[in-house]
A and B are shown apart, each in its own frame.
Chain A
């Protein structure tokens, strides 16, 4: 079973700054199988990134995803007020299992 560990638990930044969120897999994960979501209070999650680095439809280009080994990163350049939310990474592992990280809260 692959376990995803997100860090930090909480990230405090100001609008206009850059955010870097990390998601570490306990074992090798294909880049094809890693996604990032944003969730605001009272709302369903929203897909931001799939395939580790592909932006979902309608997602601004200030959101980007990357990978280094078993570490995946979600970067948000020039934070906007609406970007402050909880972010989850999610991975797929064969034969058919999806798991989420515990989340990173991005706060002002």
Chain B
């Protein structure tokens, strides 16, 4: 079955760039699924960051749109997230998740990776 694994630096300096990848195994990133990033600050709820489809369609949370870039590397079967000009408020667990077409929800999640600013 499909598995997702996030990775990246656990510590980012303020005003720096947070860069994460999400490796997809057990399935293709070019399948009929959207792929999302979600984050969760310590002890708080979930916040959707954005989604993308392998053909290049991308949607961002308006609250983060000016600072975030999502991309896909089909050759590596992985997703990438870049968040610019980070502050302490960006400290969170970052998850990637699969979103099947017409589910409008996230049915497979990575284990998450903790990033501290």
Taking Cβ atoms with an 8 Å cutoff, the residues of A that contact B are 32-33, 35, 37, 43-47, 50-51, 56-57, 88, 90, 92, 95-103
Contacts and interface: CB of A to CB of B under 8 A. Distances in A.
B109 A46 contact: yes
A26 B38 CA distance: 22
B85 interface: no
Given A44-B109, A45-B109, A103-B46, 14 more contacts: A35-B104, A35-B105, A35-B106, A44-B111, A44-B112, A47-B105, A47-B107, A50-B107, A51-B104, A88-B45, A95-B59, A97-B61, A97-B62, A98-B61
Among all A-B residue pairs, the 5 with the closest Cβ atoms: A35-B105, A96-B59, A44-B109, A98-B48, A92-B104
Given A44-B112, A98-B36, A103-B45, A90 B51 contact: no
A98 B50 CA distance: 8
Nearest to A50: B105
Overall SS of chain B's interface: loop
A47 B103 CA distance: 11
A43 B111 CA distance: 7
B73 interface: no
Contacts of A44: 95, 109-112
Given A98-B48, A100-B48, A56 B95 contact: no
Contacts of B110: 44
B104 A100 contact: no
